Chains A and B, each alone.
Chain A
Amino acid sequence: MAATLASTKKRIKDLFLAIMVSCLISFYCPSWAEVTIEQLTEDLLVFDQGENRGLLIVGAKGIAVIDPLNQETAIVLKEFIAENYTQTVTHVVYTHSHWDRISGGEIFKEEGASFIANKECKLFLSGNTNPNVVEPNVYFDQTYVIELGSQTVELSYFGPSHGECLVAVKIQPANFLFIADLLDTTGPSFPNDPTLPYLRPATLVSVLSAMEELAMTSQISSFIAGSSSTKILGSIDTISKQREFWQLVQLTAEQAEKDGNIDLNNFIDMDKIDLEPFQHFQNYNQEDLSNILRRYTSFLNMGR
């Protein structure tokens, strides 16, 4: 009887411990996805975590992190760099102001890294309420060049597009462009969020045109995007095809306005438009298209 009681007590104790451990594990590592690092060229590495992708560019004089993503990723990157390189992170570049891409830089700031963003990001980052985002100490206007020794990183700002301050990152000598959002490496496609919360329709086409121009003058044939769910390198002609997508959206909205085909809530009657040209784009979805066009009818009303 005493043995049975002791055994039951032990079982309860084990169960209690198992519950406690399980609680602790679920508390401390609930939802963070694994960080993976892949070498694209000798000095250019791609890191993924969750849905996002950033870059490490390793030069003779230092290392640039393009979008640290978050604290967990930054810790893994720091360990990886310490194990594999003698250089430290000298520059952290923010491709735009969105927190889900630029959190976690504090450990690189402690090493003395510079934090760089376009000056239009300041509206969102100066005195911001997210303690995990290090405020840039360098805000630039149109272009900014980072010399890392054997590597050069050139940042170019062409106007509002995805948010107020997205920049294109040119990496040399690899001769790739990194465009964090706006594009999918698998080809021109519908956006993930059809309500287009960050899109700036007034300047979007001119920004994409400027990126095409940059790629052409620099003879760049491939780009990297900020999403981890797609292949790493995309063909540079995706930029012009994606521009054509947005031009088609705008033309369709303009035509609907001329035809009086817009209701009081600014939605277009989808039965009265030609859907066929849109069906060639990836992730085509008629409901999404209706919402995308709604944003554009608002844009045509407001100019913003």
Chain B
Amino acid sequence: MKRVYYLAFIWIFISAGSYAVQPTPETIAESEKTLFGNLKLWEIEKISPYLYAYRYTFYRNFFLVGKDGIILTDPLTVEAAKILNTELRKISDKPVKYVAYSHSHWDHVSGGQIFKDQGAEFVAHKKCQENWLDNPNSHVVKPDIVFEKSYTISVGEPSLEMHYWGPSHDNCRVGFLIKPDRIMFIADDANPPSGWNMLYGAGLADTYIFNLVPFFLQAEKLAEREGVEWVIGSHMSFDTSPMNLVSGTIGSVEIIKEQRLLYQNVIEVVEKAIAKDIPTQNIPDYLIEQKVLADKIIGYDEVKMKVLYRRITNFLITGE
């Protein structure tokens, strides 16, 4: 009998070990000013001994503090970067060694000059550099280092891997892998708490739909290979309905798969409608009338879904 109890104890111990506890971000600094309601304009949260998340308005980046310096990601805006710079000096006296860009969109990558002036090196995928040459913005610091497939920067123990899996949301978005924490970050997608949340920009502007599913499959593969358990969200998100805003700092890695499934499902239902010979101009209304995906997509919004279905129909007709 003792042996049975002993085995049961071992089994419970092993099972408990396989369900890691989600890190609880601790707010270490925040603005006095509010964005609206009780929501602060900005806040900094500590996620692990090396890892911090910085939210400014609805946007978020993260930074890593190691013995050799600091790695920042996406400086967001001039104002956001100025605040972050002040707060960084309260956290560490190490220099900002790198600024890593997640993609080329100005609303995420402006304001880096304050870190450039301190000697930081800026890292981006090479197509981001091309985008900034085609359409320059004086607030976007051009990268010092560009890469094609992947690149790793390190400041002692913490390091940041940047992985490119082809065009997706813009043509140069990379997936970030934070080590040793084994946490991922995919800008503008996979925002906690769920990848099934209604998309903010349903028109999928500057999105390469043909590679969305392969992109997320690659991200999932990396997550599995590296034992990733969590993702950090690049935006505030919502829970149950768009009016119910939540911080969305960190969530399960499953959100990456959910995000892929959202895109995949939307594409599949439009494909089925085309196969049924529904006239292409009627497909959005047809799918909305049938309430397709209405029970799956959180915060399902008919107006946005109409735009999304139209966009996907066009993609299936043209390949773009």
Is residue A123 contacting chain B, with contact meaning CB distance below 8 A?
Answer: yes
Complex: how many Å from CA A303 to CA B210?
A: 22
A98 touches B107 (CB 8 A): no
A203 touches B135 (CB 8 A): yes
Is residue B240 contacting chain A, with contact meaning CB distance below 8 A?
Answer: no
Contact flags B190-221 to A (C-beta < 8 A → 1, else 0): 00000000001101111010100000000000
With A30-B277, A100-B317 in contact, is A197–B203 under 8 Å at CB?
Answer: yes
- Interface extent on B, as a size class? 20 to 34
Closest Cβ of chain B to A209, distance in Å, is 15
Residues of chain A within 8 A of B92, CB atoms compared:
none
**Chain B residue with the shortest CB-CB distance to A195:** B203
**Chain A residue with the shortest CB-CB distance to B201:** A298
Residues of chain B within 8 A of A123, CB atoms compared:
167, 208
Closest Cβ of chain A to B81, distance in Å, is 17
Complex: how many Å from CA A303 to CA B104?
A: 8
Is residue A302 contacting chain B, with contact meaning CB distance below 8 A?
Answer: yes
Residues of chain A within 8 A of B137, CB atoms compared:
303
Complex: how many Å from CA A99 to CA B208?
A: 15
B205 touches A298 (CB 8 A): yes
With A295-B203, A299-B205 in contact, is A203–B134 under 8 Å at CB?
Answer: yes
Contact residues of A between 165 and 208, Cβ < 8 Å to B: 193, 195-198, 202-203
Is residue B247 contacting chain A, with contact meaning CB distance below 8 A?
Answer: no
Is residue A282 contacting chain B, with contact meaning CB distance below 8 A?
Answer: no
**Chain A residue with the shortest CB-CB distance to B110:** A303
B277 touches A304 (CB 8 A): no
Chain A interface residues (CB < 8 Å from chain B): 30-31, 97-100, 123-124, 128-130, 133, 159, 163-164, 193, 195-198, 202-203, 265-266, 291, 294-295, 298-299, 301-304
Sampled A-B contacts (13; CB under 8 Å): A31-B277, A97-B319, A97-B320, A98-B319, A124-B320, A197-B203, A203-B134, A302-B206, A303-B137, A304-B105, A304-B131, A304-B170, A304-B205
In the complex, besides A302-B106, A303-B132, 7 extra interface pairs with C-beta distance below 8 angstroms are A30-B277, A31-B277, A163-B320, A197-B204, A198-B314, A302-B170, A304-B205
Chain B interface residues (CB < 8 Å from chain A): 104-107, 131-132, 134-135, 137, 140, 167, 170, 200-201, 203-206, 208, 210, 277, 307, 310-311, 314-315, 317-320
4 shortest A-B CB distances, which residue pairs? A98-B318, A302-B105, A202-B135, A303-B106
